[in-house]
Structure 1
Amino acid sequence: MGENNYNAENIKSLKGLEAVRKRPAMYIGSTSSAGLHHLVYEIVDNSIDEALAGYCDTIDVTIHRDNSITIQDNGRGIPVDYHEEEGMSALELVVCTLHAGGKFDNSNYKVSGGLHGVGVSCVNALSAKFYAEVYRNGTIYAMHFVRGEKTEELQEIGTTDKTGTIITFTPDHEIFETLEYSFDILSQRLRELAFLNKGITINLFDEREADKEHHFSYPGGLVSFIEYLDENKHPLHEEPVHFIYTGKDDAGEDLEIEVAFQYNDTYKENIFSFANNINTREGGTHLTGFRQGLTRALTKYIDDNGLLKTKNIKISGEDLREGMTAVISVKLTDPQFEGQTKQKLGNSGVTKLVAQNVRENLVTYLEENPQIAKKIVEKSINSAVAREAARKARQLARRKSVMDGGGLPGKLADCSEKDPAKSEIFIVEGDSAGGSAKSGRSRETQAILPLKGKIINVEKARPDKVIANDEIQAMIQAFGTGFGEDFNMSKLRYHKIIIMADADVDGAHISTLLLTFFFRHMPELIESGYVYKSCPPLYKAKAGKKEEFLFNDAALEEFKQRHPNQKVTYQRFKGLGEMNPDQLATTTMNPETRKVLQVRLEDVVEADRIFTMLMGEEVPPRRKFIEDNAKKVSNLDI
């Protein structure tokens, strides 16, 4: 064995904000686009905390041309007085020190999202440039920083009769994989915050495009949120159910529970949960409490009124939530989140309090609104009947697959690789394209599943009708995950599911039908990054001996400009079947030469609205969408 040199010299202590720069993902989740946008949320959350404390009602967020960001609020302004114990101004302490801030003293903030005290200091650490301007005490104070280090002492640069804080920062290219901010991603979060905090106005400006701005202000709060979510759906009752409880938790700390929900005629539940304005995407104790309270209230109403006539039908909590759109928001003094990214609430006492308040308020509501109660109960009973039918359909599909030879659909051309991480499956439109794809694929890693015709529109169909569709059954069998209650992500046989459809109207419709199915019934596939959309070329252009495959009109025009003295000929592909196997393999299937787009779920709220609008029953919203976006369409082949 070699000499053991492990001693004190090997122990490294990271000073100040070094730890953040060394391991940024530990503090903001990642250094990808998600982490980049998280920087904005950390600063905005501080402004929201000022609003919750009653000192702020307007927040402005500006994306500058160089992708730097400015966040301005009209709160009290970060304190700037000298901190005797630390030997620096309070502003410098907050901006340059982890776990420093006003969130640890309940007299300043009863409720706060930024409880770890690392928000603004993390942003400073991960910014190439960071500038803080504070309006306080009739004076304007300013301080500059570079990669977490101050470049000057606190300065007094003017006088003012306003209060508030302005933070401008430029994300560090040494840290982040991308520096491009998305207006839509920021809009989604800022819209949420405006819904969750009625009375506040949040403005988003994008200097990269003229007149691109959004203004969010919702006096109705969660009721407005529900109305926004259900805008393109048929509600079973006109007014959302809404109630607020303000009191104490088991530890005697302040607690606010706010719930709003509405039933519509769809077949999926759509529930969003928040704790101190943080979107708890993985739920937690507040969501558990809501479901328990709802189930107990509705079960009690059904039993008390003898509404379940058929004894062999058992109504589950899932049935009672079918077609429900709900928002649960809790605000508490000491929330316990899982990790800095705060995906799940863990306060155990919250479950009982939320369940109790939901049950009591809903029991009263049902008794006072018997006609609405009847509609909800009827929908729940119908859901239970359909769920039992779906269960039998799944059993039948499993038996059929066994009889047909072991569980895989006969039309599947499978790959020989058994490791899902190395395997991919192409969902191909039609037998013609399927034949070319089978000939052009890599048999080792690429599987081909041709679909005959279009799958059922799952936006308008109950689960039992969905599972009964032959093409959907083929996909489920090929994926290996099961469906509905049987869904098991660990059994997925491919970690790339690639939709390959023609570049025409029919192809776009088929792609949308498939994406709607994944979003509504297998969202885990999208969330895990396993769903892709192929990008087949639109043209094959030739000038002399030079031949290229081109993906849009702009590329064709550029090709012509590169060959001004040669005759340019080109072929426009109307479908995948027009390409021979070698062409299809080179342009659309070979991982080294193809172009594919990963389907990402960045804004669940907007995704739900868009799928409902495109594939749902309401025609006017769809017509308006087409009219508003028609001018943006290119390469349309009808």
Structure 2
Amino acid sequence: MAGNAQYTEDSIKSLDWREHIRLRPGMYIGKLGDGSAQDDGIYVLVKEILDNSIDEHMMGHGRTIDIKISELKVEVRDYGRGIPLGKVIDCVSKINTGGKYDSGAFQKSVGLNGVGTKAVNALSDFFKVQSYREGQCKVALFEKGILIEDREVVKSSERNGTKITFSPDASVFKNYHFIPEYLENQIWNYAFLNAGLTINYNGKKFFSERGLYDLLDRKVDDDRRYPIIHLKGNDIEVAITHSNQYGEEYYSFVNGQFTTQGGTHLAAFREAIVKSIREFYKKDYDASDIRQSVVASIAVRVQEPVFESQTKTKLGSQNIGPDGPTLRTFVNDFIKTELDNYLHKNPETANALLKRILQSERERKEISGIKKLANERAKKANLHNKKLRDCRVHYDDPKAAEDVKSETMLFITEGDSASGSITKSRNVQTQAVFSLRGKPLNCYGMTKKVVYENEEFNLLQHALNIEDGIENLRYRKIVIATDADVDGMHIRLLIMTYFLQFFPDLVKNGHLYILETPLFRVRNKKETIYCYSDEERQRAIQKLGNKPEITRFKGLGEISPGEFGGFIGEDIKLEPIILRKETKIADLLSFYMGKNTPTRQNFIIDNLKIEKDIINDEPNREVEVKEQETA
């Protein structure tokens, strides 16, 4: 019996640095993933290398960074000081070795603790470091963290700096692929946070002159209610405006790190906006009316920041530094002074902001009665909610491990047979199922009132826990799982309309996906191949030869639970819904869900292909469902 196993000195194992990283990669880079989510491990690897180059720039060394990323290889070249030649190998392969421990050299660095580069090294098939310093060059090569070539220092005419080249380990990051939009967003954030830095990525130049002003300018385009308020101080920069969309949208950063899950600095910022606006207008407006439709960004620099995980997506620090004030006080004092001054100096902006608050107040009061009734109904339904088959771990669970939380997903299905297949084969730890009765209501052009009037929408909102914003979202991924036919595509568009209309920040933050399931099963007595397109079917027939058995899956319900487990398990194929920079949600919804025009009908018919439902890459298309085979 296990209980009788001997517990001796031999039971205690000590792993070396690379073994530990490879055994527990989630501790170092969060979840692994295949690249379909913007916080998947392959993007964290890129970030960890880039962070070091950014730190050099922040210390005043190097104004340019060159990045080349192909399908399987990443190359980052900066023009900083270059790693000291005698320490090149140690810096990329010894935990607790690096320049980040000397707070004089890196007072408010991004990389923080020097672990990142070692994690990249350990999790790469191939890792090459080149340091150029004062006319000399040192090169070292590694495979999966093991040094395979240590070259002698040689003379070089290259400019000072460091060049790192790596290929993520395909045995760790299975079937991975880089999505260009995710990389571009990542690089734009670096440019916005480092005004004056030029980043060249695959031949394209990324440069920002006005920092967070440019970030918001890119995000809200012409949907803003008043000009962007841009405020800068020592160790803090903010940009604020209001739009016409529902919800709150924030982009928060600490020491150049995009804190996707916010933290103490964002909580202080949200509180400070409410406090300052109440004091300016001398009226106790409801906090939700002030923050409704806000689009804002905050960046702070903190000494020795404490994050809630190695991937640094949520700040836990309470203070700006060991001897400084609390972050709450620091942010509150800055916003109170600077926002108040700005609004006094810009009365037109102050009036436009007040109009937005009063509009939100009216809208909230109009639906308060029905909202109360709907919430009471939802509470009762939650006790025996037949629509929701919940999982055990949730994205907002503070006690759950980061890599487990990031695997949480809610499948939105239509019909009992599809729900049944997924429910029987899902992972009950992290996968939940929400069943729709049939086609959901087309809510295009409707107000938020419909979310409460329509029982299905209200129950979905409660299942996701997004009524008051996405801070407490219960699932990392919301997965639309519909049949591969005309009805399935229509339901998909109706669900997307619901999220784009009322919860656009959910889509913008990369939480909405479409489940890809195989369209064909091709098999003989020895082998079964599942095919996701007609091209794959043809290849499978050629491979198996001699007239194999071919099954065409018309609906999710036709796939047995046993088979379905393979399509929603480790090899799940999810296609993210990505909103491009030029996307205008109002125009997009009008095209897809507005009056039933011949143009739209023809568009849908033309793009509904027998082998796969896709929204094809037409010039006027705004939502992109990334499809590798049809790109």
TM-score, normalised with respect to structure 2: 0.75
2:558 matches 1:586: yes
Distance 2:169 2:545 in 1: 42
Secondary structure at 2:619 match in 1: helix
2:219 matches 1:229: yes
2:485 matches 1:503: yes
2:110 matches 1:113: yes
Query: Do the aligned residues in 1 keep the contact of 2:247 with 2:292 (CA within 8 Å)?
Result: yes
Cα distance, 1:617–1:270 mapped onto 2, change above 3 Å = farther
Query: Which residue does the alignment assign to 1:162?
Result: 159
In structure 1, what residue type is equivalent to 2:243? N
Query: Do the aligned residues in 2 keep the contact of 1:130 with 1:144 (CA within 8 Å)?
Result: yes
Deviations 1:414-442 (A, max 9, x none): 69x787799987543xxxxx588699998
2:182 is matched with which residue: 171, 182, 185? 185
Secondary structure at 1:268 match in 2: coil
Query: Which residue does the alignment assign to 1:450?
Result: 437
Query: Which residue does the alignment assign to 2:241?
Result: 262
In structure 2, what residue type is equivalent to 1:291? R
2:310 is matched with which residue: 322, 340, 347? 340
Equivalent pairs, count:
566
In structure 2, what residue type is equivalent to 1:466? V
Deviations 1:508-534 (A, max 9, x none): 454234135347549889999897546
Secondary structure at 1:332 match in 2: coil
Aligned pairs (5 A) from 1:80-91: 80=85, 89-91=86-88
In structure 2, what residue type is equivalent to 1:382? Q
Secondary structure at 2:108 match in 1: coil
1:614 is matched with which residue: 588, 596, 601? 588
* Structure 2 unaligned spans of 5+: 35-39, 320-325, 394-407, 427-432, 523-528, 594-599, 604-615
Cα distance, 1:220–1:336 mapped onto 2, change above 3 Å = same
1:484 is matched with which residue: 467, 482, 505? 467
Aligned pairs (5 A) from 1:543-554: 552-554=533-535
Query: Do the aligned residues in 2 keep the contact of 1:204 with 1:214 (CA within 8 Å)?
Result: yes
Deviations 1:295-350 (A, max 9, x none): 122101221xxxx6xxxxx6322221222211101123322222211122223322
Query: Which residue does the alignment assign to 1:7?
Result: 8
Query: Do the aligned residues in 1 keep the contact of 2:510 with 2:577 (CA within 8 Å)?
Result: no
Deviations 1:68-88 (A, max 9, x none): 2211111111111xxxxxxxx
Query: Which residue does the alignment assign to 1:129?
Result: 126
Distance 1:50 1:181 in 2: 26
2:287 matches 1:317: yes
Query: Do the aligned residues in 2 keep the contact of 1:259 with 1:329 (CA within 8 Å)?
Result: yes
2:68 matches 1:62: yes
Shift of residue 190, structure 1, vs aligned partner: 1.2
Distance 2:149 2:553 in 1: 61
Distance 1:126 1:45 in 2: 17
Cα distance, 1:301–1:555 mapped onto 2, change above 3 Å = same
Query: Do the aligned residues in 2 keep the contact of 1:489 with 1:524 (CA within 8 Å)?
Result: no
Secondary structure at 2:100 match in 1: helix
Larger Rg: 1
Shift of residue 17, structure 1, vs aligned partner: 3.5
Shift of residue 62, structure 1, vs aligned partner: 1.6
Query: Which residue does the alignment assign to 2:49?
Result: 43
Deviations 1:477-532 (A, max 9, x none): 8x5x666149998999xx9865425634x754542341353475498899998975
Distance 1:334 1:423 in 2: 34
Cα distance, 1:273–1:472 mapped onto 2, change above 3 Å = same
Query: Which residue does the alignment assign to 2:399?
Result: none
Instruction: Report the identity percentage.
Output: 26
Cα distance, 1:408–1:589 mapped onto 2, change above 3 Å = farther
1:75 is matched with which residue: 80, 84, 87? 80
TM-score, normalised with respect to structure 1: 0.74
Secondary structure at 2:153 match in 1: strand
Query: Which residue does the alignment assign to 2:344?
Result: 367
Distance 1:607 1:427 in 2: 29
Shift of residue 36, structure 1, vs aligned partner: 2.5
Cα distance, 1:610–1:572 mapped onto 2, change above 3 Å = farther
2:256 is matched with which residue: 264, 277, 283? 277
Shift of residue 198, structure 1, vs aligned partner: 1.2
Distance 2:421 2:13 in 1: 54
Secondary structure at 1:281 match in 2: coil
Query: Which residue does the alignment assign to 1:140?
Result: 137
Query: Which residue does the alignment assign to 1:20?
Result: 21
2:326 matches 1:358: no
Query: Do the aligned residues in 1 keep the contact of 2:439 with 2:491 (CA within 8 Å)?
Result: no
Distance 2:22 2:307 in 1: 23
Query: Which residue does the alignment assign to 1:298?
Result: 277
Shift of residue 23, structure 1, vs aligned partner: 2.2
Cα distance, 1:487–1:265 mapped onto 2, change above 3 Å = closer
* Structure 1 unaligned spans of 5+: 81-88, 206-212, 247-255, 309-313, 429-433, 542-547, 577-583
Query: Which residue does the alignment assign to 1:253?
Result: none
Query: Which residue does the alignment assign to 2:429?
Result: none
Query: Which residue does the alignment assign to 1:251?
Result: none
Aligned pairs (5 A) from 1:345-494: 345=315, 346-348=317-319, 349-398=326-375, 407=381, 427-428=413-414, 434=415, 448-452=435-439, 454-457=441-444, 461-469=446-454, 471-473=456-458, 475=460, 479=463, 484-485=467-468
Shift of residue 20, structure 1, vs aligned partner: 2.1
